[in-house]
Structure 1
Amino acid sequence: MFRRHDGPAAGHSAEALRLVSLHKTYGSPADGTEVKALDGVSLSLPAGSFTAVMGPSGSGKSTLLQCAAGLDRPSAGLVVVDGAELTAGGEAELTRFRRRRIGFVFQQFNLLPTLTVLENVTLPLRLAGAKVSRARAVAILERVGLGGRLRHLPAQLSGGQQQRVAIARALVTEPSVIFADEPTGALDTRSAREVLGLLRQSVAEYGRTVVMVTHDPVAASWADQVLFLADGRLVGRIPEPTAEAVAERMAHLGDLYETAVA
């Protein structure tokens, strides 16, 4: 069973995500292949917040997201999502937890091509064995501007529309945290802005917590704060970010890393 780490609120924790000294190592020191993807990352994110995670290629961004979302097991450390310790349960229990409490939005949409828009959105409920409310799914699709596309297949939609379907799919289970991995990476500027607005809306109107990995300073500026990774370590933070401030900080990440490890 997962261990509970309850905050002050009953039922749901006021702390949406906590990582404590998270390490992830690939390879082996014995043969010289060891790589430290995460090197002691600790953070706490409140419920109802939007956080962007940035860093150069190989900094550990995607590994951080995968470990925090329960898609990969850390080598050491603690992961707590909505008061439940993910590192304490077995694989079957972890899968059930992800289906109920965690939403995902990926760069490549990950929609099933043979299912309609509505069927793609309700799929997480079916997989979780939960009651499927067609009315709720339709209402969410209407909120993301796709109320007239319920019977369309993914191939009949633009990239931006497919990503909106993915966001609706992430919202339908009423998750505690939505993890988004480069959600605007495959989109044009207008579609990217619409998708970021929907993620922002999921925080403001639905009270969700969003953690987004991105390489784009403009995308990061939609978040409440930006966290910076370098060589598997947290090396900086900007609250209330602007695109200009984020770009400037990214240009000096090497200096920040040297300061952090000194």
Structure 2
Amino acid sequence: MSDAVVMTSVSKVYGRGGGAVAALREVSVTLPSGGFTAVMGPSGSGKSTFLHCAAGLDRPTSGSVRLGGTELSGMGETALTELRRERIGFVFQAYNLVPSLTVEQNVLLPLKLGRAKVDREWLAEVLRRVGLGDRARHRPAELSGGQQQRVALARALVTRPEVVFGDEPTGALDTMTARDVLSLLRETVDALGQTVVMVTHDPVAASYADTVLFLADGRIVDALPAPTPAAVADRMTRLGAYA
């Protein structure tokens, strides 16, 4: 299994002098290709900063981030924007859909922005996989929250990205709908060989991953393979997250 993302001694400090806050401290981790990694930790532990640095949305103060064989630290903004559009998929808690566009147009947005060719067969396959094959002409307002998040997932997958990053992707969904979306993420890993990295606060969501990384005070303090909801909740309690 190759490496999708390699972070080496990554630190991120916000502010200067006495008001400086270290969000990440010397984080080194390898996220494997074709794996599903969940990232958990108490509020303020650095989860979002970890995701933003790993995905090239934010620059580390020090250290190195590699996506595949590409070192991100020396890249300019334009090159980073292109890299994110072509090689990375994003699914956020907010669906970030364009209300005036149809499902199909929303899904194709990253390809249109990158002036890339549309593979109609792959588009149909992605829409079918997320259960929206018959909704391609609908607009977001005609869809439920769960369906809108599926559109966001299809948009993340349509570029055939090296990694899909999810930031609390089920945070705004009810329990049953969240499980549908998590099952879809799991299926993209198992059936399509997709790499998924997901920040979550929910032990049930984390249990869909192959491995859970636990952050505390900007450091990775533990990793739990083959997680169960109970084991994840227990570990979070010992981090003081649910105390």
Structure 2 counterpart of 1:79: 65
Q: Where does structure 1 lack aligned partners over 5 or more consecutive residues?
A: 1-12, 256-262
Structure 2 counterpart of 1:206: 192
Once the two structures are aligned, what percentage of the paired residues are identical?
Answer: 63
Q: Distance in 2 between matches of 1:75 and 1:181?
A: 21
Among candidates 201, 204, 214, match of residue 218 of structure 1: 204
CA contact (8 A) 1:118 1:138 kept: no
1:25 equivalenced with 2:13 (yes/no): yes
CA contact (8 A) 2:42 2:240 kept: no
Instruction: Compare relative contact order (CA 8 Å, sep 6+) and give the higher one, 1 or 2.
Output: 2
Q: Distance in 1 between matches of 2:68 and 2:145?
A: 31
Structure 1 counterpart of 2:102: 116
Using the TM superposition, give the Cα deviation of residue 211 of structure 1 relative to its aligned residue in structure 2, in angstroms: 0.4
CA contact (8 A) 2:33 2:194 kept: yes
Q: Distance in 2 between matches of 1:53 and 1:200?
A: 15
Among candidates 123, 127, 134, match of residue 148 of structure 1: 134
Q: Distance in 2 between matches of 1:176 and 1:139?
A: 18
- Give matches, 1:241-260, under 5 Å: 241-254=227-240
Structure 2 counterpart of 1:260: none
CA contact (8 A) 2:89 2:157 kept: yes
Residue identity matched to 1:235 = V
Using the TM superposition, give the Cα deviation of residue 136 of structure 1 relative to its aligned residue in structure 2, in angstroms: 2.1
Give the paired residue count: 241
In structure 2, the residue corresponding to 1:205 is in which secondary structure?
helix
- Give matches, 1:55-134, under 5 Å: 55-134=41-120
Q: Distance in 2 between matches of 1:50 and 1:139?
A: 21
CA contact (8 A) 1:16 1:176 kept: yes
In structure 1, the residue corresponding to 2:192 is in which secondary structure?
coil
RMSD across aligned positions (CA): 1.2
- Give matches, 1:160-175, under 5 Å: 160-175=146-161
The TM-score, its normalising length taken from structure 1, stands at 0.90
Using the TM superposition, give the Cα deviation of residue 93 of structure 1 relative to its aligned residue in structure 2, in angstroms: 0.8
Q: Distance in 1 between matches of 2:95 and 2:148?
A: 6
> Deviations along 1:196-217, whole A, 9 cap, x unmatched?
0111111111111100000000
Structure 2 counterpart of 1:3: none
> Deviations along 1:193-245, whole A, 9 cap, x unmatched?
01001111111111111000000000000000000000100111100000000
Q: Distance in 1 between matches of 2:151 and 2:136?
A: 10
CA contact (8 A) 1:27 1:33 kept: yes
1:44 equivalenced with 2:24 (yes/no): no
Q: Distance in 1 between matches of 2:7 and 2:114?
A: 26
Structure 1 counterpart of 2:174: 188
Q: Distance in 2 between matches of 1:131 and 1:210?
A: 24
Q: Distance in 2 between matches of 1:210 and 1:136?
A: 19
1:54 equivalenced with 2:40 (yes/no): yes
Using the TM superposition, give the Cα deviation of residue 254 of structure 1 relative to its aligned residue in structure 2, in angstroms: 4.7
Structure 2 counterpart of 1:240: 226
Q: Where does structure 2 lack aligned partners over 5 or more consecutive residues?
A: none
